[in-house]
């Protein structure tokens, strides 16, 4: 028996995972294989006679018409992609191979659903882009600005704001905001923050189709979509990413999935940025007093000397060493000693000009950098002012203490012109002062 392959052709077509379309010169579907129902949700009968272009997503129609004109001009096309709207309203991304048959005056096209592939590629691209942004960004605001651009390339974005949560007070506040669609005011901010607070316990994004920018919360046909994405990291809830679309644009499930994923990446990146910032802070600042530490001093002093050299200006370094501080720790304990050190740091800072800097070198040693000082006498006046400020009693639970200090002085360029030499001069001067105080009547204890 001779096999009639032609008769089996419809069965072959209906077995294909891809969908075959035949579209006439008027743009109407004259044949479609059974796979159309899996692709678009419509049966073959529903699609026959239907204008093909009406199934295309409005955003892609113009370039789809242009592609169809090329095919009808006799140019076969392979790999063209556009989006179609399924019967259930969801978007599907389709890759086409198409050609024109002059004999039958129709287009033949094979459509492949690449939605999942593109979704995974988009997720991977978004992951890479966010990771790269996190690597480049020097601070959280710069990072969030780049993330906003990354998201806007993939979904419609009218509002992009991020709320941060204070883990001690649990109060949320905005740390980043870009809004091109809504007048930003206290009322809108309060409404959004209230919804952010409710998002804390959520694991999934909250989708609202409301006009949140009006005084009344109500749903409108032209309202865009608001999405509240909780930022969850390994250390817990960190805040909320709030995104809105333009008027009338509704985010799809695919969009939500991407935003959910971006939210996770943002949370991880922000957490990493904060950890990095905290490590930098710990490396550069004294944990007890919050003052810049010894590591920071040298770089800061080098920069100050360079500025003075350019401007032919002077600076002074005051080496401050608390007298008999060990007695405080021995007599009252380290808690009181720490309280005293914090108070000394505050008094030193409060006694200086805005451009001057106080460093804690460790233990009971501090260093004061006075820039643009006019003379050594002026520097001595500042040292005396600091001494008077420190002598004020410090109250603590069981009494009070009056701290005193020996202060050494070195000036640039009179005493030294290099960092190490300047510090050594101030240190030596401090010991001279301390010995004089110990020998003379000026000596006093806590």
The DSSP annotation for 138-153 comes to: SSHHHHHHHHHHHHHT
CATH classification of 17-113, choosing from 3.90.76.10, 3.80.30.20, 1.20.1050.10, 3.30.450.20?
3.30.450.20
CA-to-CA distance for 409 and 382, rounded, in angstroms? 10
Q: What is the pLDDT of residue 68?
A: 95
CA-to-CA distance for 316 and 382, rounded, in angstroms? 10
CATH fold of 118-284: Beta-Lactamase (3.30.450)
The answer to whether the beta carbons of residues 212 and 181 sit under 8 Å apart is: no
CA-to-CA distance for 31 and 225, rounded, in angstroms? 37
The answer to whether the beta carbons of residues 316 and 411 sit under 8 Å apart is: yes
Which pairing describes strands 91-101 and 106-113: parallel, antiparallel, or unpaired?
antiparallel
Please count the residues of the chain. 446
CA-to-CA distance for 155 and 132, rounded, in angstroms? 20
Instruction: Give the distance from CA 7 to its chain's centroid.
Output: 62
How do the pLDDT tens digits run along the chain, 446 residues long? Answer: 676 666 667 777 777 889 999 999 999 999 999 999 999 999 999 999 999 999 999 999 999 999 999 999 999 999 999 999 999 888 899 999 999 999 999 999 999 999 989 888 887 888 888 888 877 877 888 889 999 999 888 888 888 999 888 777 777 888 888 877 666 778 888 888 888 877 777 777 888 876 555 544 444 444 568 889 998 888 788 889 999 887 667 787 778 888 888 888 888 887 887 788 788 888 899 999 999 999 899 999 999 999 999 999 999 999 999 998 888 888 888 899 999 999 999 999 999 988 899 999 999 999 999 998 988 999 999 999 999 999 998 888 777 888 889 999 999 999 999 999 999 999 999 999 988 887 765 444 44
Could you write out the three-class secondary structure of 34-95? Answer: CCHHHHHCCCHHHHCCCEHHHHECHHHHHHHHHHHHHHHCCCCEEEEEEEEECCCCCEEEEE
Domain boundaries, the chain: 17-113, 118-284, 294-439
Q: What is the pLDDT of residue 213?
A: 56
Q: What is the pLDDT of residue 410?
A: 95
Q: At a CB cut-off of 8 Å and minimum separation 6, what does 34 contact?
A: 13, 14, 44
Q: What is the pLDDT of residue 443?
A: 44
Buried/exposed 90-101: b ≥16 CB within 10 Å, e otherwise: ebbbbbbebbbe
Q: What is the pLDDT of residue 219?
A: 44
The reply to whether omega before 427 is within 30° of 0 (cis) is: no
Entry pTM = 0.57
Q: What is the pLDDT of residue 212?
A: 59
DSSP 8-state secondary structure symbol assigned to residue 161: E
Homologous superfamily of domain range 294-439: Reverse transcriptase/Diguanylate cyclase domain (3.30.70.270)
For residue 118, give the nearest of 136, 137, 94, 138 by alpha carbon: 94
Buried/exposed 247-265: b ≥16 CB within 10 Å, e otherwise: eebebeebbbebbbbbbbb
CA-to-CA distance for 134 and 272, rounded, in angstroms? 8
DSSP labels for 327-379?
A: HHHHHH-HHHHHHHHHHHHHHHHHTS-TT-EEEEEETTEEEEEEES---HHHH
Q: For residue 273, how many other CB atoms are within 10 A of its CB?
A: 19
Instruction: Give the distance from CA 179 to its chain's centroid.
Output: 16
Q: For residue 114, how many other CB atoms are within 10 A of its CB?
A: 14
For residue 139, give the nearest of 269, 264, 260, 233 by alpha carbon: 269
CA-to-CA distance for 168 and 3, rounded, in angstroms? 80
Q: Which two tokens stand for residue 434?
A: 């301390």
DSSP 8-state secondary structure symbol assigned to residue 229: E
CA-to-CA distance for 37 and 48, rounded, in angstroms? 12
CA-to-CA distance for 97 and 15, rounded, in angstroms? 18
């Amino acid at each position: 028996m001779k096999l009639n392959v032609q008769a089996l052709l419809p069965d072959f077509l209906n077995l294909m995972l891809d969908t075959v379309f035949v579209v006439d010169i008027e743009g109407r579907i004259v044949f479609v294989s059974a796979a159309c129902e899996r692709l678009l949700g419509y049966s073959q009968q529903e699609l026959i006679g239907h204008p093909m272009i009406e199934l295309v997503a409005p955003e892609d129609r113009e370039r789809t018409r242009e592609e169809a004109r090329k095919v009808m001009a006799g140019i076969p096309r392979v790999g063209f992609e556009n989006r179609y709207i399924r019967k259930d309203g969801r978007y599907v991304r389709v890759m086409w191979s198409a050609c024109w048959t002059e004999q039958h005056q129709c287009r033949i096209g094979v459509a492949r659903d690449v939605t999942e592939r593109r979704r995974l590629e988009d997720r991977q691209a978004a992951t890479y882009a966010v990771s790269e942004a996190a690597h480049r960004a020097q601070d959280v605001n710069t990072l969030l600005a780049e993330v906003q651009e990354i998201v806007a390339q993939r979904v419609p974005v009218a509002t992009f704001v991020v709320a941060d949560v204070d883990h001690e007070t649990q109060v949320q506040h905005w740390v980043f905001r870009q809004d091109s669609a809504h007048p930003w005011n206290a009322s809108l901010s309060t409404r959004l923050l209230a919804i952010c607070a409710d998002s804390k316990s959520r694991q999934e994004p909250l989708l609202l189709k409301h006009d949140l920018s009006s005084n009344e919360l109500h749903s409108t046909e032209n309202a865009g979509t608001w999405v509240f994405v909780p930022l969850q990291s390994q250390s817990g809830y960190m805040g909320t990413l709030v995104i809105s679309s333009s008027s009338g644009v509704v985010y799809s499930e695919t969009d939500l999935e991407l935003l959910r994923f971006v939210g996770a990446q943002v949370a991880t990146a922000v957490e990493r940025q904060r950890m990095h910032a905290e490590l930098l802070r710990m490396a550069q600042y004294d944990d007890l007093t919050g003052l810049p530490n010894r590591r920071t001093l040298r770089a800061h002093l080098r920069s100050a000397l360079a500025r003075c050299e350019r401007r032919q200006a002077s600076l002074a370094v005051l080496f401050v060493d608390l007298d008999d501080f060990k007695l405080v720790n021995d007599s009252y304990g380290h808690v009181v000693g720490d309280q005293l050190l914090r108070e000394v740091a505050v008094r030193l800072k409060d006694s200086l000009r805005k451009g001057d800097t106080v460093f804690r070198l460790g233990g009971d040693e501090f260093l004061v950098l006075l820039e643009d000082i006019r003379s050594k006498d002026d520097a001595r006046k500042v040292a005396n002012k600091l001494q008077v400020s420190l002598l004020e009693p410090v109250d603590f639970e069981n009494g009070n203490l009056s701290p005193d200090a020996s202060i050494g002085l070195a000036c640039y360029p009179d005493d030294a012109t290099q960092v190490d030499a300047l510090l050594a001069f101030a240190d030596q001067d401090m010991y001279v002062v301390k010995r004089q105080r110990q020998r003379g009547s000026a000596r006093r204890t806590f």
